[in-house]
Every structure is written in C-alpha cells, then in structure tokens.
Structure 1
Amino acid sequence: MRKVLLGLTLLTTGMVASAEHYSQDVNKNDNLFFNFKVMQGLDQKNPGGQKNDTYLELEFGGRKGVMDLYGYVDLKNIFGSTNNDSYGGDNFFAEIKPRFSIDGMTGKDLSIGPFKEWYISTWIKAGDSGKFGGLWHNGIGLGTDVEVPWFGTTGLSLLSTYKREDFGSNAEGHWDGYSLQWNWFKPLHFFENGSFVSYQGYVTYDFGADKIAENEGRTKDSLQWYNGIYWHNNDWAIGYGLKVFNNMANFDDGVITNGATQDTSGVGHYFDIGYKF
C-alpha cells in the first residue's frame, strides 16, 4: 500500500510530481521511483516502417529538492528476433526530462490560479534508427504544474529544441522548432484491496521546425497522443495504450524517404506489464 500511495503522489508511471508549493521546504516530498517494463508495440508509426516490437523499458524519476525528474530508456527487440521490425539497426530510444523548480530556487510561491508551480524545463531525446541515422534533440523552456478540471494536477511544458542529430536533416546543429508537452495521471476507480485503475497519458506536439521541413519528405510539425488505461497495485502495473500519431518524427505520411514509404500517421497499440521497485 505504501507504494500505491507514493504512486499517487509522484505519479509513478512518470507523469508529474506533487503540485504542493516548494517555496519554503524544497525537500519535503523527496522521493524516487523505478519501473521495469516489458512492452509490446503493434502498428507503431515510426519512420522506416518499424511497426511491431517487443521491447524493455526502464522508467525512472522522482523529486529531490528543486529537481523534478522523469525519464525512460527503451531497449528494442529484447528477444533478438530476426523477424522483428527493429532487427539490424534500431537498438534504443530514450527521453530524460529534468525540471528545476523556480519556486524552490527563488524561495517564492509563484502560483497563479490553476498554475501551482513553475519550472525551468529541459529535455533530451536520443535514439538510433538504422539507415535513417541518429537522433539527439535537446530542449529548454518553461514548465508548470497546472490544475485541470477532472484531470487534476497535470504537467505542461513549452520548450525550444536544438537538433544535435536529426536523421541527417538540415536542422542538425541548429535550434529549430518547439515542443509543447502535456501529461496527466487520473485515478478512475479504487478497489477495496488498495489497487486502482487509472487513465494516464500525454500529448507531445512538435511544431515550427522550418529547417527540418527543407528536406524532402519531412514536415514542420509532428503529433503524438497517448491514452493508457492501467491497473496498479503495490508491485505491478498492467495496461493498454492507444497512441495517435501524425507525421511521427516529422516524416510526412505516405511520402517515399530513403527508399521507404512512410506510414507515420494513424493509430498504434501498446500492451505492457511493469514491476515497481
């Protein structure tokens, strides 16, 4: 039961930390989490036709002083199947999102209406994708914990992005575009044994990528919208996620790029089981 309650405070599936003010005692809710997941992705809309994969996800984060952290690392094709879409090139994908509390660093309560705490948000996104080359984006911007009707406390960030690597596009080595990121964790029903069902997910909308769009088959914007229904108890989380894609990774849907017809818009499905440490 302790981990279940901690999960509601920290949103242990990696959504957002507690919305309580940190202007006076920045260490009052220090905590951490680590989840070990096996995931099955079906009909994913990745560049290069990589649709189906069984992969391992290591998910981690928490709160320590002024820093709020969420991150995960996906290790692709964990069973080494030669029939897997990721075989022979696409080995990993990772995102790390440290946020630094402005309230905590200044010692001031900066909450305004539904905006409960403010952050300097940062972001690293990295991976490899076989013949399409490497991916490494950095982002920095402003974030907040915002109260939304029915959803409760959600996380919202707007970041400017630097494209260190971007599948060989013209954007590499430039600040190019922005990323709007919103995430939530909403308990729907509690059972008598302390387990519960949640609706959890995120929206990531990348836009304004003018230099990426200079490349044939690439777009200025990209959308990912994940909707998950999960059952949680003290040790396990089991769930299903439906993910809506539009021009995934700024690859234009239906266009032939590097010899592959891009299928980067539509709906994908995810099934996973995770163990909570």
Structure 2
Amino acid sequence: MKNVKTIALATALVATAALAAPTFAADRGEDIRSGDYSWMQFNYMYAVDELPGGSNHDYMEMEFGGRAGVVDLYGYVDVFNPSERTDSDKSGSPKMFMKFAPRFSIDAITGMDLSVGPIQEVYLTTLFNWGGGDINLYAPGAGDVNNASIGIGADVMVPWFGKVSMNLYKYYEIQAKDWNGYQFSMNWFKPFYNFDNGSFISYQGYLDYQFASDDDFSATQASSGGVMFNGIYWHSDNYAVGYGIKAFSDVYLIKDTDGFQSTGFAHYFSATYKF
C-alpha cells in the first residue's frame, strides 16, 4: 500500500505542475508541439525457438510511436498465427498481445530543463502489457499476461549509440492485484552503415530485466529474469528487413526447468512496410 500511495502522490504532483507551470521541453523552446511526429509500420515476423517453451511461429505486428507535446509514445499489437495454420506452435493459443508504453515529459510538464550531462530529458514513465487470453487460460483464475508498471525514465546520450531510452519501473501484476519487484528497460536504434541511395543498416534492440521479485508469489516464479534483443536491419524509406537474436533468462519470471524451458536463445526474421 505504501508503494501505491507514493506513486499516487508523485502522479498528483506532476499533474499539479502541469496546470501551474509554463511548458517547454528541452531543445523545443516555448512551443512543446514544434517537434511533434508520429510513425507506424507493419512487421511480418517469424520466430524460431521462442521462449518460454521453445515455439516456432509467425505473427503480424503493428508497431507505432511518436511524440505529441508532453507525451512520448511507443507500442505494438501482435496477431499470432494470422493464417490459422494448424502446424503452428501458436495454433489454439491466444491470438493477440499488446504493449503500450506512454512516457510523460517532466521537463515539458514543469517548464524546467532537467537535462544534465548525458541525460537529455526526464519522464514519468508507464508500461502496460496485455494478453488476449481469457481468465482461465493457464489455470483457473490465473488469466493471461496482464501487468502494469510506473516509474522514472530518461533519454540518455551514450557513446556511439546516441540517444538511448532508459526506464526504471515498479512492477504491478494486475491479475493478482499486487506489486512485485521492479523492471529496468532500455532500447536503442543505431544506424551504422549508409548506402548512396539513402538506405542504411542499423543495430537495434532492447533490454527488459525484472528483479527483486518475490519468488514466493507462485511456485514457478523466479526472483529475477529478462530478455535482450539484438537486431541487424536494413532500412529504406518504406521498407525494412532484418534478423534478430533474443537472449532469455527466466523470462517473465518463469523458472527454467527440465520440463519447461525459459532460458536460452531465439531467432527472429522480419519484413517491414512503413507508413
């Protein structure tokens, strides 16, 4: 309950500042809408040995994001086994998964430039993961993936990588109505080879790591775990193709066992159309 009260107070303070202070984000001057942008793309993906469980399957992903005033947004919606192939490891499984990650610029809300050293901008950051299964999917009343996180984030300039998004969250399991540990997340996008026609090759990826979790929360839960995705992609204005390898360690806080694998590596192949 203390965590709930602390986060509620922090949210209230930020909201109050938004009403009371002039708003301008770092590097945007007085017009916080001057740098607004949005993007969307569709990715056709194929996963090999995806964990937990080691499944092979295809899926369609709608990925989106942008910036609008004080809000920085990233998210995606996955539709699994879109052609309903009976030989897919996702056959008979929930069809959809959504990640939704809005961040709210404290710089823009308060009218203060909080940049210091490599830190470019500071955010009140949130993260929501929602699965498409019913409440009795894995066990009576257990439900599908359904969690939320809130915390503090920043855009940080890192040598060679450039701007990297880093976020530290307090993790809340919506289905169980309980706080359980923390999550650190970061993501990057680094073009490193340019072609004469304007296309380029990038190194892009992300890290999600959960820690300080109560491993008594369930019999199969680990106290820490996460994933790291490392991708090499070719990009043009309208298309992208790429390959990524993802490392898993007790992913989703599921303990790795001989009977159910949650630690290892998976491979991803992607073809993208950009809007």
C-alpha offsets along residues 65-96 of structure 1, whole Å, 9 cap, x if unaligned?
Answer: 01000000111111101111111123221111
Which residue number in structure 2 is paired with residue 37 of structure 1? 43
Give 1:274's aligned amino acid.
Answer: T
C-alpha offsets along residues 46-69 of structure 1, whole Å, 9 cap, x if unaligned?
Answer: 2xx251110000001100001000
Give 2:218's aligned amino acid.
Answer: N
SS state at 1:108 partner: coil
Residue 248 of structure 2 corresponds to residue 248 of structure 1:
no
Give 2:63's aligned amino acid.
Answer: E
Give 1:121's aligned amino acid.
Answer: T
- Runs (4+) of structure 1 exceeding 4 A deviation are none
Give 1:209's aligned amino acid.
Answer: S
Which residue number in structure 2 is paired with residue 10 of structure 1? none
SS state at 1:63 partner: strand
Between the aligned partners of 2:85 and 2:46, the Cα distance in structure 1 is 13
Between the aligned partners of 1:266 and 1:20, the Cα distance in structure 2 is 41
Correspondences of 1:106-185 after superposition (within 5 Å): 106-128=110-132, 130-131=137-138, 133-165=143-175, 172-185=176-189
Correspondences of 1:85-124 after superposition (within 5 Å): 85-124=89-128
Answer whether contact 1:23 1:106 (CA < 8 A) is retained: no
SS state at 1:52 partner: strand
Distance 1:213 1:222, change over 3 A: farther
Answer whether contact 1:200 1:227 (CA < 8 A) is retained: yes
How many percent of aligned residue pairs carry the same amino acid? 41
Answer whether contact 1:24 1:108 (CA < 8 A) is retained: no
Between the aligned partners of 2:265 and 2:216, the Cα distance in structure 1 is 23
Structure 2 unaligned blocks of 5 or more: 1-24
Which residue number in structure 2 is paired with residue 199 of structure 1? 203
Which residue number in structure 2 is paired with residue 72 of structure 1? 76
Structure with greater Cα Rg = 2
Give 2:106's aligned amino acid.
Answer: I
Between the aligned partners of 1:213 and 1:73, the Cα distance in structure 2 is 31
Which residue number in structure 2 is paired with residue 225 of structure 1? 228
Give the superposed CA RMSD.
1.5
Residue 57 of structure 2 corresponds to residue 53 of structure 1:
yes
Which residue number in structure 1 is paired with residue 237 of structure 2? 234
Structure 1 unaligned blocks of 5 or more: 1-18, 166-171, 256-260
Answer whether contact 2:47 2:56 (CA < 8 A) is retained: yes
Normalising by structure 2, we get a TM-score of 0.85
Answer whether contact 2:79 2:97 (CA < 8 A) is retained: yes
Match of residue 83, structure 1, among 80, 83, 87: 87
Answer whether contact 2:58 2:82 (CA < 8 A) is retained: yes
**TM-aligned CA deviation for residue 131 of structure 1:** 3.0
Relative contact order, higher structure (CA 8 A, sep 6+): 1
Between the aligned partners of 2:217 and 2:35, the Cα distance in structure 1 is 46
